[in-house]
Amino acid sequence: MKLRVLVFINAFAVAVTLSIANYYFQQSLHAVLVTFSATFIISYIIFYYLIEKYIYSKIKLIYKQIHNLKLGRDLRDALGEHVSADPISDVQQEVKEWANQKKGEIEVLRAQEKFRREFLSNISHEFKTPLFAIQGYIDAIEDDDFEDKDMAREFLQKAARNVERLSFLIKDLDEISKLETGQIAINYTKFKINDLIKEVLENLEMKAKKHHIKLVFKEKYDESIMVNADKQKITQVLTNLIDNSLKYGKEGGTTGISLFELHDQVLVEITDDGIGIEEKYLPRLFERFFRTDSSRSRQIGGSGLGLAIVKHIVEAHDQTINVRSTEGLGSTFGFTLQKAKQQINIAGIPVLKS
């Protein structure tokens, strides 16, 4: 109901009551008419003024609380013409919207809380495995009292490997938390992506031999492609992806790296012919600590942080990463990079824009 109608009805009721009372005492129609008009006008003004003032002062307060003084304007200004027509339902609408918004925020917080809890349990799980292994080896050596020197040596080596695994885990965790809190800046430089790929492949050559996997860089462009990115971080992206292709590749298989020139980007693809990934896992692959069942049971996986780090780095460059995979056939991970802009100088030789 509109404020004016409400006030009108109230004033009318008062005026009628007083008029009847007046008629009862004075029995004069003229006096009744005067009383009616006077009381109607006066009570209309008083009611209107009081209700408006009351509603406005109360609503203004609520409104300010809801908006946390963000609007910085008076209710009248904020709600414009509507408020005088029906301020209550306007505020009701506002409150409903506000409640919905808060509900959304609470849901996000709940999801984050769940994520945090899972994150903690994942961390403790990841730490437990190598720690228990180290403890086991040390206990065994102690029990044996160094009688069997060969066994002691072997167990110490195994313990050392688990210590190494722990330190890799801490390094990855450190890296990901820095990336997530935005502490790591992307240090853009211009470099030839072809050269970087060759460098990374050389570094991983030994590991590939161990897995009997052939590393092939399929260069289909005559010239190297210049990109604008953080060289060190892209080295890490390439290393993680190629390393995965070795870990989850098949013995005697091949890992291929290809480049595709797009309009102002380069697409880098790493393809393997390994175990592949079930379709249902694909959407979760880049989550922290996520590992497929097969890699968990095979005990070949690392921390499960590699792809999360890769995604962070690529996205910090404002670029994208995607994956295609068929279980049993292999996987392809592709990410884009920004091409460095080139200018042609007078001699017609491309030079880099500074």
Q: For ligand ADP, give the closer residue by CB, 309 or 337.
A: 309
Work out how close the CB of 306 gets to ligand ADP at its nearest, in angstroms, rounded to a whole number: 3
Cα 290 to Cα 296: distance, rounded to the nearest angstrom:
10
Contact mark string toward ligand ADP, 312..351, x via CB under 6 A: -------------------x--------------------
- Which of these segments, 39-47, 84-92, 271-279, 336-344, binds ligand ADP (CB under 6 A)? 271-279
> 245 is in the binding site of which of ligand ADP, Mg ion, none (Cβ under 5 to 8 A by kind)?
ligand ADP
> 304 is in the binding site of which of ligand ADP, Mg ion, none (Cβ under 5 to 8 A by kind)?
ligand ADP
- Which of these segments, 48-56, 194-202, 257-265, 295-303, binds ligand ADP (CB under 6 A)? 295-303
Asked if 255 interacts with ligand ADP (CB under 6 A), we say no
- Report the Cα–Cα distance between both ends of the chain, in Å, rounded: 67
> 130 is in the binding site of which of Mg ion, ligand ADP, none (Cβ under 5 to 8 A by kind)?
none
Instruction: Check if the beta carbon of residue 310 is closer than 8 Å to that of residue 197.
Output: no
> 303 is in the binding site of which of ligand ADP, Mg ion, none (Cβ under 5 to 8 A by kind)?
ligand ADP
Crossing angle, helix 231-247 and helix 193-210, to 10 degrees? 30
Work out how close the CB of 133 gets to ligand ADP at its nearest, in angstroms, rounded to a whole number: 17
For the chain, the three-class secondary structure string (H helix, E strand, C coil) is CCHHHHHHHHHHHHHHHHHHHHHHHHCCHHHHHHHHHHHHHHHHHHHHHHHHHHHHHHHHHHHHHHHCCCCCCCHHHHHCCHHHHCHHHHHHHHHHHHHHHHHHHHHHHHHHHHHHHHHHHHHHHHHHHHHHHHHHHHHHHHHHCCCCHHHHHHHHHHHHHHHHHHHHHHHHHHHHHHHHCCCCCCCCEEEEHHHHHHHHHHHHHHHHHHCCCEEEEECCCCCCCEEEECHHHHHHHHHHHHHHHHHCCCCCCEEEEEEEECCCEEEEEEEECCCCCCHHHHHHCCCCCCCCHHHHHHCCCCCCCHHHHHHHHHHHCCCCEEEEEECCCEEEEEEEEEECCEEECCCCCEEECC
Contact mark string toward Mg ion, 210..249, x via CB under 5 A: ----------------------------------x-----
Asked if 130 interacts with ligand ADP (CB under 6 A), we say no
Distances (CA, A) of 67 to 54, 57, 101, 156, 347: 20, 15, 12, 63, 62
Residues 6+ apart with CB under 8 A from 2: 85, 86
Work out how close the CB of 134 gets to ligand ADP at its nearest, in angstroms, rounded to a whole number: 19
> 227 is in the binding site of which of Mg ion, ligand ADP, none (Cβ under 5 to 8 A by kind)?
none
Work out how close the CB of 338 gets to ligand ADP at its nearest, in angstroms, rounded to a whole number: 24
Binding-residue total with ligand ADP (CB under 6 A):
24
Q: For ligand ADP, give the closer residue by CB, 194 or 331.
A: 331
Q: For Mg ion, give the closer residue by CB, 105 or 180.
A: 180
Work out how close the CB of 272 gets to ligand ADP at its nearest, in angstroms, rounded to a whole number: 5
- Which of these segments, 92-100, 203-211, 226-234, 269-277, binds ligand ADP (CB under 6 A)? 269-277
Which of 19, 244, 319, 336 binds ligand ADP (CB under 6 A)? It is 244
Closest residue by beta carbon to ligand ADP: 306
> 292 is in the binding site of which of ligand ADP, Mg ion, none (Cβ under 5 to 8 A by kind)?
ligand ADP
Residues of the shown chain interacting with ligand ADP in the complex, contacts defined by CB under 6 A: 240, 244-245, 247-248, 272, 274-277, 285, 290-292, 295, 301-308, 331
